Amino acid sequence: MSAARGILFWIALIFLGVMLWKLVSSEKRPVDSVSYSDFLQLVENDKVREAHIYLEANSVSVVAALRSPSKNVETTVSYGDLQDLKKHLIESGASVEYANTKQSDWVLILLNAAPLLLLVGFCLFLMRQMRGGIGRSGGSVPLNRLSRTGIGYDLHRLEEGRKLIVGGIELPFDKGPAGHSDGDVVAHALCDALLGAAALGDIGTHFPDTDAKWKGADSMLFLKHARKLLDEKKLAIEHVDAVVILERPKLGPHFPNMREALGRALDVEAARIHLKAKTNEGVDAIGRGEAIAAYVVATLVPR
């Protein structure tokens, strides 16, 4: 679309240049002022090849191109003598052309140029509207200019003897998530949301539970790695919204520390991370205190 707009612009510019050149081209030759009587003598001697008659407020200006010598002359005549002069010019074989004012008048130039300028502006406006319409339909906006959204989900069983790690911090409780790493559901769901938004697979692709080196690993390492991948794709984290589903303990008082820990791992302001907590009202494994889950939505924008 930008190439078509550029072509249209240059075509319009060429047309404008040609029009302006035609408007002022007759002024390239020097013009000698002569008296009306001397001008009539030139007409009678068949010296005038063509004459341009410019009607002004109180008089008439006549600019004539001579056959020999090749030059332009100008004279002023009253409206009363105009018809007689025109008759003499025609009888001498000179071509006669009328105009409203002299071609050197820039007001006339601008008035003649205005329609073309309006046409160019209107065409550019239409192209902008078409471009916007195509972009809204999803057909032409480059992918690297779009914001991206990813969703992540994770669930772990709770077992006695495990540390309860949520959002990068340890909470005092008698149970913790069972898992290959530390089982941080918020970090895992957040990692999946970021990778999904960037079309980079999921957490299992980068940190498989079959790899012994991730046994008991700090999930903040996963987030740091995800952030590195986003940097390589020139993507920035715009916002994170997470909901943690857990019957006990209460998570609200710990959210500020969680946001700080997650922000440090991702190298973003804590203000970009929003956390919420829900219970399952005693329903299913989460409601019975046997599991913990998290949903996360992450929005990325181009750098």
Instruction: Give the domains, in start order, of the chain with CATH numbers.
Output: 145-302 (3.30.1330.50)
pLDDT in tens, 189-246: 999 999 999 999 998 888 887 877 778 789 999 999 999 999 999 999 999 999 999 9
245: amino acid identity, one letter? I
Token pair recorded at residue 103: 């071609």
What is the end-to-end Cα distance of the chain in Å, rounded?
A: 24
Alpha-carbon distance 65 to 26, whole Å?
9
The pLDDT > 90 percentage for the chain reads 44
Please state the pTM of the whole predicted model.
0.55
Least confident among 104-113, 133-142, 173-182, 239-248 = 133-142
Q: What is the pLDDT of residue 137?
A: 47
Q: Measured between alpha carbons, how far is residue 49 from residues 29, 68, 95, 140 in Å?
A: 15, 9, 7, 59
Please answer whether residues 246 and 292 qualify as being in contact, where contact means their C-beta atoms are separated by less than 8 angstroms.
yes
pLDDT in tens, 235-292: 999 999 999 999 999 999 999 999 999 999 999 999 999 999 999 999 999 999 999 9
Q: Measured between alpha carbons, how far is residue 230 from residues 194, 208, 234, 261 in Å?
A: 8, 20, 6, 19
Least confident among 11-20, 32-41, 122-131, 136-145 = 136-145
pLDDT over 90 (residue 58): no
Output b/e per residue, 189-213; b: 16+ Cβ within 10 A.
Answer: bbbbbbbbbbebeebeebbeeeeee
Q: Which residue has the tokens 């029009």?
A: 19
Please answer whether residues 98 and 55 qualify as being in contact, where contact means their C-beta atoms are separated by less than 8 angstroms.
yes
Please answer whether residues 65 and 50 qualify as being in contact, where contact means their C-beta atoms are separated by less than 8 angstroms.
yes
Token pair recorded at residue 237: 């984290």
pLDDT over 90 (residue 108): no
